[in-house]
Amino acid sequence: MAREHFDVLIVGAGLSGIGAGYHLQTRCPGKSYAILEARGCSGGTWDLFRYPGIRSDSDMFTLGYSFKPWTDPKAIADGPSILSYVRQTAAEHGIDRHIRFGHRVISAGWSSPDAMWTVEVEQGAGGQRMTLSCRFLLMCSGYYNYARGYTVDFPGAADFRGQIVHPQHWPADLDHAGKRVVVIGSGATAVTLVPEMARTAAHVTMLQRSPSYVIARPSHDRLAEKLRGWFGPRLAYQLIRWRNVLLNLAVFKLCRAAPASAKALLLAGVRAALGADYDLGTHFTPRYNPWEQRLCLVPDGDLFRAIARGGASVVTGAIETFTERGVRLDDGAELAADLVVTATGLDVQMLGGAQIIVDGTPVDFARTLTYKSLMFSDVPNLASVFGYTNASWTLKSDLIAEYVCRLLTYMDRKGYTICTPHNSDASLPTAPWVDFSSGYLQRALPRLPRQGLRRPWTLDQNYLRDILTLRFGRIDDGVMRFS
Q: What's the confidence (pLDDT) of residue 152?
A: 83
Give, in words, the CATH class of 4-147+347-482: alpha beta
Q: What's the confidence (pLDDT) of residue 224?
A: 85
Residues 146/39, Cβ–Cβ less than 8 Å: yes
Q: What's the confidence (pLDDT) of residue 2?
A: 60
Give residue limits of the domains in the chain: 4-147+347-482, 157-342
Q: Which residues lie closer than 8 Å to 342 by C-beta, 6 or more apart?
A: 151, 152, 154, 164, 165, 166, 167, 184, 185
Q: What is the pLDDT along the chain (483 residues), one digit of tens a residue?
A: 467 999 999 999 999 999 999 999 999 999 999 999 999 999 998 999 999 999 988 889 999 999 999 988 888 999 999 999 999 999 999 999 999 999 999 999 999 999 999 999 998 777 789 999 999 999 999 877 777 777 888 899 999 999 999 998 999 899 999 999 999 998 889 999 999 999 999 999 999 999 999 999 888 888 888 888 898 889 989 999 999 999 989 988 988 899 999 999 999 999 999 998 999 999 999 998 888 888 888 999 999 999 999 999 999 999 999 999 999 999 999 999 999 999 987 777 888 889 999 999 999 998 999 999 999 999 999 999 988 888 888 999 999 999 999 999 999 999 999 999 999 988 899 888 777 666 666 777 778 898 898 889 988 888 999 999 999 999 999 899 999
pTM given for the model:
0.92
Tell me which CATH homologous superfamily contains domain 157-342: FAD/NAD(P)-binding domain (3.50.50.60)
Considering just the CA atoms, what is the radius of gyration of the chain in Å? Answer: 23
C-alpha span between 389 and 441 (Å, rounded): 10
The two domains 4-147+347-482 and 157-342 share their CATH topology (first three levels equal)? yes
Residues pairing with 357 in the sheet: 109, 362
C-alpha span between 108 and 98 (Å, rounded): 20
For residue 61, CA distances in Å to 44, 68, 174 come to 19, 10, 33
Q: What's the confidence (pLDDT) of residue 461?
A: 85
Helices and strands: H and E segment counts in the chain: 13, 25
Look at residue 412 and give its three-state secondary structure: helix
